[in-house]
């Protein structure tokens, strides 16, 4: 990588880090691109060259986490040993884990407010839907291939249902954080796993 490429990569990384810090601290609605540029130590024009709007910055943050999650899930699926519920549990834990720690406030802001200040936010949700659906479908196909899942199950429909349940569990968790209600991720995970077991139990050949 040339020095010019290294500098461009560093500037982009600094912009994303600054945006994440500002959004976590003061919320997405109150964060401006000029603030992001100042925090990142770059000119406003430099930021604009990388990201034409605040929404583009946030999309890049979301995409990075989605791809990190997809990489983790791909590894988990490769380790599939015939325990569908156990593998799903590992996948869903990775989903909760990737949004914890320093990412917690950022993802809470994104999950509960992003759509209100970015009308095109549905594009990111659609991307997440596709990425998750592909992974769930791959796992279900493996489970069906080894005889753990009934051969007549509609895998696309079941994969979509798995995503919807997981997505709703995450949204419920973040809404609870906003309302200062039950904020224990383990409790939300247990509820999700119970729902997944109820959903899959009729279709498991080794239940």
Please name each of the domains of the chain with its CATH number. 1-52 (1.10.10.60), 55-203 (1.10.357.10)
Question: Is 66 in contact with 128 (CB distance < 8 Å)?
Answer: yes
Helices (H) and strands (E) in the chain, counts: 9, 0
Closest CA to 46 of 62, 58, 28, 34: 34
pLDDT of residue 118: 58
Q: How far apart are CA 201 and CA 152, in angstroms?
A: 14
Q: What is the pLDDT of residues 21-55, one digit of tens each?
A: 888 888 777 889 999 999 999 999 999 999 988 88
Q: Cα(19)–Cα(24) distance, rounded to whole angstroms?
A: 8
Q: What is the C-alpha separation between 64 and 78, in angstroms, rounded?
A: 22
Helices of type H across 79-121: 84-98, 104-117
Nearest CA to 47 out of 58, 33, 59 is that of 33
The answer to whether 62 touches 110, Cβ cutoff 8 Å, is: yes
pLDDT over 80 at 77, yes or no: yes
**Predicted confidence band of residue 63 (pLDDT cuts 50, 70, 90):** confident
Query: 184 phi and psi, to 5 degrees?
Result: -85, 110
Better-predicted residue by pLDDT, 65 or 157: 157
Return the higher-pLDDT residue of 23 and 82. Answer: 82
Q: Which residues contact 195 (CB under 8 A, 6 or more apart)?
A: 165, 169
pTM of the model: 0.78
Query: Which tens digits make up the pLDDT trace of 126-177?
Result: 677 788 889 999 999 999 999 999 999 999 999 999 988 988 888 788 777 7
């Amino acid at each position: 990588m040339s020095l010019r490429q290294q500098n461009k990569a560093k500037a982009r990384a600094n912009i994303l880090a600054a945006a994440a810090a500002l959004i976590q601290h003061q919320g997405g609605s109150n964060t401006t691109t000029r603030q992001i540029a100042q925090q990142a130590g770059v000119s406003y024009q430099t930021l604009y060259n990388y990201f034409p709007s605040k929404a583009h910055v946030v999309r890049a943050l979301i995409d990075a986490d989605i791809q990190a999650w997809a990489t983790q899930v791909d590894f988990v699926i490769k380790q599939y040993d015939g325990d569908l519920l156990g593998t799903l549990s590992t996948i869903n834990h990775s989903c909760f884990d990737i949004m914890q720690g320093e990412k917690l406030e950022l993802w809470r802001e994104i999950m509960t407010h992003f759509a209100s200040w970015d009308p095109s936010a549905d594009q990111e949700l659609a991307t997440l839907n596709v990425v998750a659906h592909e992974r769930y479908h791959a796992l279900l196909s493996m489970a069906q291939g080894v005889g753990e899942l009934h051969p007549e199950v509609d895998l696309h429909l079941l994969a979509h249902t798995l995503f919807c349940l997981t997505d709703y569990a995450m949204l419920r968790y973040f809404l609870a954080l906003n309302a200062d209600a039950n904020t224990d991720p383990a409790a939300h995970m247990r509820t999700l796993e119970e729902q997944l077991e109820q959903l899959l139990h009729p279709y498991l050949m080794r239940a």
